[in-house]
Amino acid sequence: MKQFNYELDYSRIKNLRINNNLTQKDLADYLQISIAAYSQFERMDVIIPIELLNKLANYYHVSLDYLLKITDNPNIKVETLEIDKVKVGENLRNIRKEKKLYQETLAQEIGTSHSLISEYESGKKLVSLTYGYAICKRYGVSLDYLYGKIKHP
């Protein structure tokens, strides 16, 4: 299995916090996590779970693509919603079919297993931020589309 190292950069969460005159405690309380955990996200010491990144995108009214520097446009209109793993699975299947890939091929391309892609597509598991980002970067699609925040790629 190939291993890929797509560098996630969500440093904008710190800039947005500062520009909105918020403290780390304010956001930790909003996300219902400890200040120490939130601080690790801002330092990018750990990978922020997609559910929490989505909550921050909703809070700031920006796209996931903006938070992860896939785009520099902070004004993209996206749905403010919770992520639905079944919808994400459908979107992943649509991306895969549009790119004319088998599940096995996609798995090899992003460095995971066929069975995990199958679980993602069936809605049994939510696509992790790491693999979601890898898919979007490799195939040039929007993270907001994959996670159901916009209706078309």
CA–centroid distance for 89 within its chain: 13
The whole domain housing 110 covers 85-146
The pLDDT tens digits for 98-141 are 999 999 999 999 999 999 999 999 999 999 999 999 999 999 99
Asked if residue 93 and residue 53 are part of one domain, the reply reads: no
List Cβ<8 Å contacts ≥24 apart for 39-42: 41/10, 41/13, 42/11, 42/13, 42/14, 42/17
- Residue 103 in any domain: the answer is yes
Residue 44: which CATH number? 1.10.260.40
> Which two tokens mark 111?
């460095």
The pLDDT tens digits for 12-22 are 999 999 999 99
- Residue 97 in any domain: the answer is yes
* Whether pLDDT at 6 is above 70: no
List Cβ<8 Å contacts ≥24 apart for 72-78: 76/144, 76/150, 77/150, 78/144, 78/149, 78/150
- Residue 153 in any domain: the answer is no
- Residue 90 in any domain: the answer is yes
Domains: count for the chain: 2
- Residue 6 in any domain: the answer is no
- Residue 74 in any domain: the answer is no
